[in-house]
Structure 1
Amino acid sequence: MSSKDNYKNLTDEALIGLYKKSEELTIVGELYSRYTALVYGVCLKYLKNREESKDAVMHIFEKLIISLKEHDINVFKPWLYVTARNHCLMQLRAMKGKTFEELSPFLMEFGGNGHQEQGPEVEGNIGKLEKCIQELSHEQKQCVKLFYMEQKCYKEITEDTGYDLNKVKSYIQNGKRNLKICMERNGKSE
């Protein structure tokens, strides 16, 4: 039995650990093949174009080769979903010729029902969100951006900022709450 057959029996997280040690691309291929249909579905939902969605699936795979080494991923499937969604939202934003600032994780959380990613509603909500982010304390702004925009784990944030783990968790939780309050206070685009 080949090692590729052995990969099929491993969990996603075990495959990630093995890839980080060996950097063998067949491991990433096995892992990604489990969720290619999911990624394609997410891309099709946002991009609404089959060819662009197929291209996005390939781009996300290429990103995955690097991202798996850089991030501590606890549960792969939801992490991959968010990665695919963010890729598509950045692509949509680029098509409009605007800078995205990687605000899509916030927008999904605070900017509406999560299914109206296109049109003027998004523009209005992004503007409000940018304003609300600026209102956060320095510590909250720093931790929230690292957690949501750069998708760093708590441990990575503690290393980057020097804050202890409980402070990081508190800054993220309070920052998220303050963003939600600010977005509601400023009114979401309808």
Structure 2
Amino acid sequence: MFQSKKNLKNKDDQHLLLDYLADGNLETLGELFGRYMHLVYGVALKYLKDREQAKDVVTQIFERLIIEIPKFEIKNFKSWLFVVTKNFCLMEIRKEKATKNRFEKYSVEQNMESAEFVHPIDEDLNSSMQENLKHCIERLKKEQKDCVQLFYYQEQGYKEIAEELEIAEKKVKSYIQNGKRNLKICLEQLEKEHEV
């Protein structure tokens, strides 16, 4: 049974919430959400620092509420909505960070190797080359091995590796650079051995 807009405005949050849970009427949810749209926008803007993105979050959060509200026992809608919005924004930041790390991985400083040379570790390898590569990685010095594995196999950026290994970012770059050089030498040696 649909209620008039005036009726909806006169109800407090908890009553609107119960009404929405009872009949799934989006107009009821719209009234409830409308009271806190500015809050959602403000939180999104604070975390994402982008007006357009923050506007998108307002729409996405409303869509999420349709699914999320029935799953929870909500005592205070405003507080709950704040937490939902904050978590959503943090997930978005994490996703962006992961994308940025992947981009950083593929646009590694050209000073590592000349731009024309593509290192075997950057290519899709056949299984025997992969075996050789694994073998060569095992032979690297510990610091080089750790950095190369975190960078290429766990897709971490310089900053994350530096924090995890508790070393300077410059060291991370240097270990990866030297590690790649040593891998290249090792792979070339193995290829020569196979040719013999």
TM-score relative to the length of structure 1: 0.50
Deviations 1:114-154 (A, max 9, x none): xxxxxx79xx69xxxxxxxxxxxxxxxxxxxxxxxxxxxxx
Bigger Rg, structure 1 or 2 = 2
Residue 20 of structure 2 is aligned to residue 24 of structure 1: no
Structure 1 counterpart of 2:68, one-letter code: S
- What residue in structure 2 maps to residue 44 of structure 1? 45
> SS where residue 98 of structure 2 aligns?
coil
Q: Deviations over 1:35-89 (max 9, x none)?
A: 0001100000000000000001110000011111111100110110011000000
Tell whether 2:9 aligns with 1:8. yes
> % of aligned pairs identical?
48
How large is the RMSD of aligned CA atoms in angstroms?
Answer: 2.2
Unaligned runs of 5+ in 2: 100-158, 165-196
**Structure 1 counterpart of 2:4, one-letter code:** S
Tell me by how many angstroms 1:8 deviates: 0.5
Q: Which residue is 1:74 aligned to? A: 75
Q: What SS does structure 1 have at the residue aligned with 2:74?
A: coil
Runs of 5+ in structure 1 lacking a partner? 99-119, 126-190
1:90 and 1:5 map into 2 onto residues whose CA distance is: 37
* Distance in structure 1 (CA, Å) of the matches to 2:10 and 2:70: 21
Q: What are the residue-to-residue correspondences of 1:145-164 with 2, within 5 Å?
A: none
Q: Superposition pairs for residues 93-172 of structure 1, below 5 Å? A: 93-97=94-98
* Corresponding residue of 2:135: none
State the secondary structure of the residue aligned to 1:74. coil
Residue 54 in structure 1 maps to residue 65 in structure 2: no
Deviations 1:1-49 (A, max 9, x none): x612101111111101000111000011000000000110000000000
Runs of 4+ in structure 1 displaced over 2 angstroms? none
Aligned residue in 2 for 1:87 = 88
Residue 168 of structure 1 corresponds to which residue in structure 2? Answer: none
Over residues 158-185 of structure 1, what are the superposed CA-to-partner deviations in whole Å (9 max), with x where a residue is unaligned? xxxxxxxxxxxxxxxxxxxxxxxxxxxx
Corresponding residue pairs, total: 102
With normalisation by structure 2, the TM-score equals 0.49
Residue type matched to 1:40 in 2?
Answer: Y
- Paired letter, 2:66: I
Alpha-carbon shift at residue 97 of structure 1 (Å): 1.4
